[in-house]
Structures are given as structure tokens and as C-alpha cells.
């Protein structure tokens, strides 16, 4: 079963739920592409940052096929993005689903 996407802002929300993994900017799976670098509208900024991350993640996986291994047993992947916005976590979830097939 794939993990869920969790919107979690550490300063506001405190500790992550048990089994959840932080994959926000400060983690090794964080999106190095900032929304405000791509800002036209907030939603478009998120979309463009996610598409840039999709290429980044593909490159990381080609360099290190085990890059996603530590996330496979997570119950949720957490980032500070609001759930209604596109997020790099969506890419990670897609990639984890592909690996499980």
C-alpha cells in the first residue's frame, strides 16, 4: 500500500504522526525548486516547481536506484505544501507506486 500525502508544517503542527516521513525541502527528498522562482500564479508556481522536481527525481533515481528505499515503509510523506496545491510529494508517491509494480 502506498503512503498518503500529508500537509505538515513542523513549527505549527509539531511532531509527525508515527510512520510518517518528512520529505520537505530540508530532507534528501526535498524539492530544490522553489515555488516563487516559477511564480505566475500560486498554483502555476507549484505546478512548475513540481515539473522541475520530476526531472530532478528521475535523474536522482538513475544515479542511485535505491534513493526511494527509505520511503517504502512510510505510512505518509509529509511536506508543508497545502493539500490543494500540486506538490513534489505527488511525484514521490507516483515513483513509489511504480517501484512496487
DSSP 1-62: -PPEEEE--HHHH-SPPTTEEE-STTSTT---S-GGGG-SSHHHHHHHHHHHHHHHHHHHHH
How does pLDDT run across 12-71, given as a tens digit for each residue? Answer: 888 999 999 999 999 999 999 987 765 566 668 888 899 999 999 999 999 999 999 999
Helix (H) / strand (E) containing 88: helix 88-100
Query: Which pLDDT belongs to residue 50?
Result: 93
The pLDDT mean for the chain works out to 89
Helix (H) / strand (E) containing 76: strand 76-79
Amino acid at each position: 500500500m502506498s503512503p498518503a500525502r500529508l500537509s505538515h508544517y513542523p513549527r505549527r503542527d509539531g511532531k509527525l504522526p508515527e510512520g510518517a516521513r518528512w520529505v520537505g525541502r530540508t530532507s534528501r527528498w526535498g524539492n530544490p525548486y522553489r515555488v516563487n522562482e516559477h511564480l505566475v500564479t500560486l498554483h502555476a508556481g507549484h505546478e512548475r516547481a513540481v515539473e522541475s522536481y520530476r526531472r530532478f527525481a528521475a535523474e536522482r533515481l538513475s544515479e542511485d536506484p535505491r534513493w526511494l528505499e527509505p520511503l517504502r515503509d512510510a505510512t505518509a510523506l509529509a511536506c508543508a505544501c497545502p493539500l490543494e496545491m500540486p506538490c513534489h510529494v505527488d511525484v514521490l508517491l507516483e515513483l513509489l507506486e511504480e517501484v512496487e509494480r
